[in-house]
Amino acid sequence: MDKMTPEQRHRCMSRIGSRNTRPEMIVRRWLWRQGFRYRVGVKSLPGTPDIVLRRYSTVIFVNGCFWHGHDCEKFRVPSTNTAFWEAKFSRNQARDRRVYKQLHEMGYYVLVVWECQLEAPRRLATLQALSTRLAEIYLDTHQAKPRPYGDGDDAAPGIAAEPQD
Ligand SMILES: [Zn+2]
């Protein structure tokens, strides 16, 4: 443990902080009470999404505003080691974008809930909006369609069309 560079230590801390956090538990308890069933911390998916709702083809990330660099009043770049932190936040944001894109290409809807959206007085509205979005996704994905993940731009990559000539 002593041999870690500051950067490794921060990464380690961020990982510890990313599991079973209070904001994540707020979302999980809400979903469970609403009757949604899910898996947590699915390592086989890119980015190890916090919550996976397979029936809804949906993954949910509950992001801390600090580590993920949310553009809100909770996020401030620390005034010491500013360059280090700025580089770290932009790496985190780039990784997030990459992971969301990969999941989208696998056919998942990717929903992000921010820590600041789970604070009173916004919490209830955030959670209700989440339930509404999941209901919409369920309707989208369970209507009679030729493919499981919708049509057009949501289609999984690599499915070739019949050659037309
Ligand atoms: Zn925020």
Burial 51-82 (b: 16+ CB within 10 A, else e): bbbeebbbbbbbbbbbbbbbeeeebeeeeeee
For residue 26, the CA-to-ligand 1 centroid distance in Å is 16
Which pTM was predicted? 0.74
For residues 163 and 122, which has the higher predicted lDDT (pLDDT)?
A: 122
For residue 70, the CA-to-ligand 1 centroid distance in Å is 5
Res 157: pLDDT: 47
pLDDT one-digit tens code per residue, 126-149:
999 999 999 999 999 988 655 555
Res 1: pLDDT: 43
Beta-carbon contacts of residue 135 (< 8 Å; ≥ 6 apart): none
For residue 71, the CA-to-ligand 1 centroid distance in Å is 6
Average pLDDT of the residues of the chain: 84
Res 147: pLDDT: 57
**Residue 13 resides in a domain:** yes
Nearest to residue 27, comparing CAs of 65, 67, 59? 59
For residue 75, the CA-to-ligand 1 centroid distance in Å is 7
pLDDT one-digit tens code per residue, 71-125:
898 888 888 999 999 999 999 999 999 999 999 999 999 999 999 999 999 999 9
Beta-carbon contacts of residue 75 (< 8 Å; ≥ 6 apart): 65, 66, 69
**Residue 144 resides in a domain:** no
**Residue 113 resides in a domain:** yes
**Residue 151 resides in a domain:** no
**Residue 147 resides in a domain:** no
Average pLDDT, integer, range 65-73 = 91
Total domain count, the chain: 1
CATH number of the structural domain spanning residue 61: 3.40.960.10
Q: 25 is in which domain, residue-wise?
A: 6-131
pLDDT one-digit tens code per residue, 25-52:
999 999 999 999 999 989 999 999 999 9
**Residue 139 resides in a domain:** no
Nearest to residue 116, comparing CAs of 20, 22, 17? 22
